[in-house]
Structure 1
Amino acid sequence: MPILEHQFLCRLLTRCLSSELPLTSRASVSPRPSSSLTVPPISVSHANNVPSSPDNVGKFVENNLDMPRVDILKQKMQLLGIDLDNSCLPGQYQNLFCPKCKGGQLEERSLSFHIIPDGEFAMWRCFRTSCGWAGQAFADDKELYRRVGQKSYGTMTEESLGLEPLGAKLIAYFKERLISEKTLSRNAVMQMSDNKNVIAFTYKRNGLLVGCKYRTMEKRFWQGKGTDKILYGLDDISDAAEIIIVEGEIDKLSLEEAGFRNCVSVPGGAPSKVSSKDLPPIEKDAGYQYLWNCKEYLNKVDRIILATDSDPPGQALAEELARRLGRERCWQVHWPKEDEQSLFKDANDVLKCVGADALKRIVENAEPY
């Protein structure tokens, strides 16, 4: 059933519930969109029990809803970044913050959200024209949600991406970089099943696979289609008050070898230089959407250690991150000299050359930005 038809029916129901007039019929909405609508009759005696005051509509719905279904929907919405409180009841429309565009520069509540009266599914749409994110989630579906007008989302699996556990060749590749099999396993680092020379870094959010970044041993990178723009290792900072941000997935794994799990990596490398322009609005900050998409994690952090590469792009990245995250809570790692002419490049460089203990000390000696 089209979304507009659902909205019309649900609003009609709400008006009837809040009216003094008896309700003589009710629309029964199918848990799946369909082209037909059945309207079973409701007796007048039943209708007389319907509360006439708008203030009582919520109580009426609350007493008749199927709570397990609603709980499932709320859990799914939480995974998508849609925050629902106890006021979000079936049969009512809510204006919420859109987790995709964050309400734009004005931070408006642009997401129209609705759970149908029987609690079988929820639907939403962001009314900001530059966003327009819309979807449906069903309580009895295994998939997370369905994008309106697009293919299903939330069904990404290791099997659907053609991934398999790392083979001996890639395990040896990481061993040369002092990354253990234990660390690789905990971070679900895999390989492509049809090209066993390609490393697959799986991106997860709340334990859900939301994307993958691929790397060859010759340092060629690409991201899988449909990959969410988020920080790599995001689940490792869900409850952290202090975090470390690095420039690559292998650097994140290297810091774990040094005892730091509260570490994430940017997904797309570094800019060539610091921008001379003012910061753009969030929705136009294309190169750093991964920060805004993880805003609810980063907002809780008190101290952020920037451990980007020592080369000019790495230092430019540190500056761009500090501009967006707030310099007052940023600290910076200064990589020591490798020889008379050059510095160690990054965390893995230090791990390979001087070991995990030295890497730990260097990070612990980060200085205020």
Structure 2
Amino acid sequence: MLFLPARKLFLSSSSKTFLLLKSSTAPATYACLHSLHDCSSTSPRTLRFYSSSRFFLHLSYQRASRCSHTPYSATPVPRQFSGVNDESLGKQFIDDKKLMILRKKLQEIGIDGSSCTPGRYNGLVCPSCKGGDSHEKSLSLSVTEDGGAAVWTCFRAKCGWKGATTRAFAGVKSTYLTKSKIKIKESRRTITEESIGLEPLSSKLLAYFADRVISGETLRRNAVMQKRKGDQVAIAFTYHRNGKLVSCKYRDTAKRFWQEANTEKIFYGLDDIKEASEVIIVEGEMDKLAMEEAGFKNCVSVPDGAPPKVSAKELPTEEKDTGFQYLWNCKDYFVKVSRIILATDGDKPGQSLAEELARRLGKERCWRVHWPRKDHISSFNDANEVLMFLGADAVRVAIEKAELYQIQNLENRCS
């Protein structure tokens, strides 16, 4: 006997809206028709749907208090919605059984998905790294709209835990239990702007960047785009190598980040330092764009932010240096570079990032930027903040006054 997958069918007739459900465990012969509004007719009706095969769907309904069904299958009665229309109905259909099983599986590996909303990205504390000293919500968890599957990634530089479920009834695959084992090289996805659904920036996001003194010309040159997911719109920072799109990182206006799964880890703006003898490294994509507004195109940004502190361990090998894999993936770009200016954030994680980069790139060719002071207590934190409050000239002065990294550390020890 032929079995078909579970389906939803929407039937609209003036003010009447119907939802067709079919049990995923029953043959395609029978289904149930649930009315989301009271039917105007007082007599029972029978609807028959014939296909090109011998099988058909027998549907009937009787007037009831907002919802009626037939006894032909064991399909669960769906939750009732208020103010439902054809457009929003599909978005609100969640399989409670699948969601319950999915949350249980996530709980087994330490992810608390009890408060996560299907169809959206949810920020959580990573069970692998615990969010570091600050307990930041660095784990991005995405649950499908029906509640049947999930993917997640931790964006802390020293963690990188990621994984996925196929469906709620299948197993869970993640790096949580295999992080200490030998890393298997993953096959990278081939992506294009069309395949991942990118589109030009809207006027709203252009205004968002304008408030941060980033021009439309700079955004176009760096191929900054946007991506829609339901009613959400995220900024899309595209990562290119030799003109080819190899990765994409997303950011919403609440400053939550996530990245295309199974894509290459590289510096943002990598093609801008090809054959360069002097390179500026910043901590975020916004700072890379701010540097360009100040006249510096030979600038790249790290993709994963900064570690909370400097590691006390010896420098790991390339295979085990997972937190800085993007640096090893781009090592050929730094072979001929004689001067590397570390313009990371001025806070403690930013200083830790500068130290970790200098350890790997060689402190003898690194310079460190000190951002100008706000007052006698504090200083500006990054390139974009300086650009917004002091202008492009102040950014250029800070770069020109960068200090040789070894001399800087020697003076700190002497003092």
TM-score, normalised by the number of residues in structure 2? 0.52
TM-aligned CA deviation for residue 340 of structure 1: 2.4
CA–CA separation in structure 2 for the residues paired with 1:236 and 1:165: 21
TM-aligned CA deviation for residue 193 of structure 1: 3.3
CA–CA separation in structure 1 for the residues paired with 2:303 and 2:294: 21
C-alpha contact (below 8 Å) 1:233/1:263 kept by paired residues: yes
Residue in structure 1 matching 2:228, options 181, 188, 193 = 193
Residue number in structure 2 paired with 1:173: 208
CA–CA separation in structure 2 for the residues paired with 1:348 and 1:256: 10
The equivalences for 1:163-242 within 5 A come to 163-194=198-229, 197-242=233-278
**Root mean square deviation, CA, Å:** 1.6
Identity of counterpart residues, as a percentage?
64
Residue number in structure 1 paired with 2:353: 317
Residue in structure 1 matching 2:300, options 264, 276, 284 = 264
Provide Cα deviations, 1:329-348, integer angstroms capped at 9, x if missing partner. 00010011112221100000
Residue number in structure 1 paired with 2:34: none
Which structure 1 segments of 5+ residues have no match?
1-128, 135-146
Instruction: Determine if the alignment matches structure 1 residue 340 to structure 2 residue 376.
Output: yes
Residue number in structure 2 paired with 1:307: 343
TM-aligned CA deviation for residue 353 of structure 1: 0.4
State the one-letter code of the partner of 2:225: M
Provide Cα deviations, 1:253-277, integer angstroms capped at 9, x if missing partner. 0000000000000000000000111
TM-aligned CA deviation for residue 230 of structure 1: 0.5
SS of the residue 1:197 aligns to: strand
CA–CA separation in structure 1 for the residues paired with 2:343 and 2:395: 11
C-alpha contact (below 8 Å) 1:245/1:308 kept by paired residues: yes
Provide Cα deviations, 1:221-255, integer angstroms capped at 9, x if missing partner. 11111221100000000110000000000000000
Q: What is the aligned residue count?
A: 224
Query: 1:132/1:193 Cα in 2 relative to 1: closer, same or farther (>3 Å)?
Result: closer
Provide Cα deviations, 1:73-92, integer angstroms capped at 9, x if missing partner. xxxxxxxxxxxxxxxxxxxx
Provide Cα deviations, 1:117-140, integer angstroms capped at 9, x if missing partner. xxxxxxxxxxxx956659xxxxxx
Residue in structure 2 matching 1:280, options 316, 333, 349 = 316
CA–CA separation in structure 2 for the residues paired with 1:218 and 1:167: 17
Which structure 2 segments of 5+ residues have no match?
1-180, 406-415
CA–CA separation in structure 2 for the residues paired with 1:203 and 1:316: 24
CA–CA separation in structure 2 for the residues paired with 1:335 and 1:174: 21
C-alpha contact (below 8 Å) 2:287/2:383 kept by paired residues: yes
C-alpha contact (below 8 Å) 2:280/2:343 kept by paired residues: yes
C-alpha contact (below 8 Å) 1:170/1:197 kept by paired residues: no
C-alpha contact (below 8 Å) 1:337/1:344 kept by paired residues: yes
CA–CA separation in structure 1 for the residues paired with 2:245 and 2:370: 33
CA–CA separation in structure 1 for the residues paired with 2:310 and 2:183: 27
CA–CA separation in structure 2 for the residues paired with 1:309 and 1:345: 5
SS of the residue 2:304 aligns to: coil
CA–CA separation in structure 1 for the residues paired with 2:302 and 2:210: 23
SS of the residue 1:342 aligns to: coil
C-alpha contact (below 8 Å) 2:370/2:398 kept by paired residues: yes
SS of the residue 1:230 aligns to: coil
CA–CA separation in structure 1 for the residues paired with 2:184 and 2:316: 20
Residue in structure 1 matching 2:330, options 270, 286, 294 = 294
Larger Rg: 2
C-alpha contact (below 8 Å) 1:167/1:196 kept by paired residues: no
Residue number in structure 1 paired with 2:28: none
Residue number in structure 1 paired with 2:392: 356
TM-score, normalised by the number of residues in structure 1? 0.59
Instruction: Determine if the alignment matches structure 1 residue 368 to structure 2 residue 404.
Output: yes
SS of the residue 1:283 aligns to: coil
Higher helix share: 1
Query: 1:197/1:339 Cα in 2 relative to 1: closer, same or farther (>3 Å)?
Result: farther
CA–CA separation in structure 1 for the residues paired with 2:224 and 2:354: 26
SS of the residue 1:360 aligns to: helix
CA–CA separation in structure 2 for the residues paired with 1:358 and 1:330: 21
SS of the residue 2:209 aligns to: helix
C-alpha contact (below 8 Å) 1:338/1:344 kept by paired residues: yes
CA–CA separation in structure 1 for the residues paired with 2:200 and 2:262: 22
